[in-house]
Amino acid sequence: MLPQMQFGQSPLEEIIATMRAEGPFNLFYFNGQGEPTYLGWEWKAASPYNAVQATFGDGAAEIGYQDIRLIYDNEVFNTIDGSREGGERQNVLNQASIDSRKPKARSEEVDLPLTDDNNVLSVIDSVRAFYGEPTMRPASLTVNSAKALTQILALDIGSRIRVRRLSNDATPIDRVTHIIGKSKAIDVNRHVTCTWNLARGFDAGAGVWRAGVAGFSEAGSTTVAG
């Protein structure tokens, strides 16, 4: 980040500038203690956020959930532009996505307050990797304290979870994602119901590798690389 201290600039403006530079994968929120928490764009690769902390599903060894909301996420970007302030514009493409879905451009990462062109390239390449194709994914998950009290108490915004859903008449869902919002309610029987809003994440099918993700990266496997 470039320091941009300006006379009369509010702390909120500094936070907004930082979030714009490190988006779209960063998070800023107030935690359970009411403290502001900021996670930069590489936070998913750092412990404890890089490891799956709980697996929810309808299998025997999985944590049962009360409800799941699935959506067809058709947000696609396959032509992504980016640059630092005063730097050359860079571009990354997902050619397979372009061939099948026509160019879907994104330029929100132009003129970022970064100091290195390589950092800009990392940001826009991450956008390309996540938004090349539409996907069916869980948008929210609701759990009840009768089955998941430990997880309700322990998991917070940023926690990485795995969501599975078996199906006899459609493609099963198996997705690794992060919690990006939560709400809790208690009923007259003192049962707590918690709903987590979920990020897009990625499919966790057999053979999937994700750099920096515990259990899904080359470094976490026994496969000998080339």
Full set of structural domains in the chain with CATH? 11-42 (no CATH), 45-73+135-213 (2.40.30), 79-130 (no CATH)
Tokens 């359970």, residue?
A: 32
Residue-level length of the chain? 226
Mean pLDDT score of the chain, rounded to an integer?
Answer: 83
Which segment of 1-10, 13-22, 42-51, 198-207 scores lowest on mean pLDDT? 1-10
Q: Report pLDDT for 2.
A: 54
What average pLDDT does the segment 162-168 reach?
82
86-122: pLDDT as tens digits: 899 999 998 988 988 888 999 988 988 788 888 888 8
192, 83 contact by CB (below 8 A): no
Give the torsion sign (CA, 220, 68, 38, 185). negative
Spatial CB neighbours of 83, under 8 Å, sequence gap ≥ 6: 89, 90, 109, 110, 111, 112, 120
Please report which confidence band the pLDDT of residue 14 belongs to, taking 50, 70 and 90 as the band edges: confident
22-75: pLDDT as tens digits: 767 788 888 777 788 888 777 888 888 889 999 999 888 899 999 999 999 888
